[in-house]
Amino acid sequence: MKKTSGDLEKLNSNAKKNQNPSLQAMGEFFENASTIHGVSIDSKLLADPVAVSFEKSSNQKIQSVAVSLKTLGSLQLDFSNGRSDFKPAQLSISKLQVFFDQIFSIPINPQK
């Protein structure tokens, strides 16, 4: 889980650096994203018991997180299987690049 968190932080940092990416940069982003392994957790546990115990905390900051955890838990998200969607996205970006290069007669130069 710690590695996944670090990988996601790095991916997020790279995305923030490049606010207007080229198609090639977008393809590289999806390629990098597809290598991150998710974490399999039962997200319902965020709502109960985690959020329930946070509500009982004497610390105000911890109590305030409980509402968000309940919402997250109710969404029943699966953090382990999303990476499979990135590979087709990367392939689509590559095909778009070839398409635009052909339309605008731009020579294909993958080194840029």
Tens digits of per-residue pLDDT, 63-90?
999 999 999 888 877 666 666 677 788 7
CA distance 31 to 23: 12
User: What is this structure's pTM?
Assistant: 0.49
pLDDT value of residue 110: 58
Regions of the chain short of the pLDDT cut 70 = 1, 39, 78-84, 106-112
Cβ-in-10-Å burial (0-12, 13-18, 19+) of 14 comes to middle
pLDDT value of residue 60: 93
Cβ-in-10-Å burial (0-12, 13-18, 19+) of 46 comes to buried
pLDDT value of residue 62: 93
CA distance 44 to 53: 14
Phi, psi of 43 (to 5 degrees): -65, -15
